[in-house]
Every structure is written in structure tokens, then in C-alpha cells.
Structure 1
Amino acid sequence: MKQSELIEKVAKKGKMTKAEARRMVDLVMGELETGVKQVRKDGRVSIPRLGTFRITKRSGRMGRNPRTGEPVRIRASKSLRLRPASNLRKAAGC
């Protein structure tokens, strides 16, 4: 779903103008971003009805360049993971 589609749905269901809906969506996204930034400090952040964000570490490994077939070293990295809340898993049929 595009952000513009989300804004249209919020405006329609919330019976508000698109400008008001855009402001609402921007506020929610800003708070989500703030919550995700908290993951750095706490290791995980749980947002009700959305899920739990956490940072996972991926160890370095050997990979292969798909064009040349040459072995390539892939560096260790971190990744942000979301474990969806049970209501979202049920909605997706999981």
C-alpha cells in the first residue's frame, strides 16, 4: 500500500479531509520512527497491535558473485526485525 492510499483510507474512514488525514498519518509514522529508534537502547520495542521490533546480528560469511561465480566475503551486519502482533498474524492467515 502506498502512503497516498493509506491517507485516502484514513480520510474516508475517519471522515476527515485529506490534509487532516495526512497530518494524522505523519504523526503516527513519526511516533513509530521514534519507537524504532528506542530499539538501539533497549534491544527491543513492543508496539501494541503492531508487533515487536528487535535488532538481529548476522555473522559474516562467504558468498558468491552471481555474475562471475567468484567467492566474495560478506561482512557481518545488523538487521531490524519485526515480529507481528497476533492480530496481524491472524489477519494474514498465519
Structure 2
Amino acid sequence: MNKLELIQALKDSQNLTRIEATKCVDIFFGEMTKALEKGDRVEIRGLCSFHVKKYDSYAGRNPRSGETVVVKPKKLPFFKAGTELKQRVDK
């Protein structure tokens, strides 16, 4: 499912206009993004959680040239599936 399919499903199930459904989806993902940008954890009970993992700088290798390069420290979003979601998928 992609974002457009999610908007369509919300529109159909809640009798919303396409614009209203789009706003709802945009607000939902926008607020999640803001929370992760601040370093907060986002948890949707029974479904999943998101948090930001911090990675330190390390020496990596360019696969083409074999040259050693320094990879800068970074922060990346991390997804973890909830127990209920795991059980439903594994049926």
C-alpha cells in the first residue's frame, strides 16, 4: 500500500472528500516526522514503533576503489514491528 492507496481507503471508509482524507494522512505523517526530528519515540500500540538511532563515525571502504573513507556520524529512523502485528502477519 502506498500513500495514495491509504488516502483512498480513508476516503472510502469514512465518507470523506479526497482533500479531507489527504489532509488527515498528511497531518498524521507530518506529526510523526516532527516527533522523530526532535528525537522523540513514536509508538502506535499493537502496530509498531519508530525511534531515531544514532550512529558514530567509522572508517568505511569505497567498494569501487577499495579506498578507506570516513563515514560521518548520522541519525536514522528505526522501525520496530509490534507483537500484535507480527502475530497477524504470521497467520
- Give the TM-score taking structure 2 as reference length: 0.71
Aligned residues: 90
Q: Which residue among 49, 56, 64 is the counterpart of 1:59?
A: 56
Q: Which residue number in structure 2 is paired with residue 76 of structure 1? A: 73
Aligned mates of 2:37, 2:17 — CA distance in 1: 30
* Alignment match, 1:36: 36
Question: Counterpart in 1 of 2:44?
Answer: 47
8 A contact 2:61–2:68 mirrored in 1 = yes
**Pairwise CA distance, 1:66:** 1.6
Deviation at 1:89, TM superposition (A): 2.3
Q: Do residues 19 (structure 1) and 19 (structure 2) align?
A: yes
Q: TM-score with structure 1 length normalisation?
A: 0.69
Aligned to 2:82: 85
Indicate how the Cα distance of structure 1 residues 90 and 6 shifts in structure 2: closer, same or farther if over 3 A, else same: same
Q: Alignment partner of 1:67: what SS?
A: coil
**Displaced runs of 4 or more, over 4 A:** none
Q: CA RMSD in A?
A: 2.3
User: Equivalents in 2 of 1:23, 1:53: separation in Å?
Assistant: 22
Classify the secondary structure of the residue corresponding to 1:21: helix
Cα distance change, pair 52–72 in 1 and its aligned pair in 2 (3 A): same
Structure 2: give runs of 5+ residues left out of the alignment: none
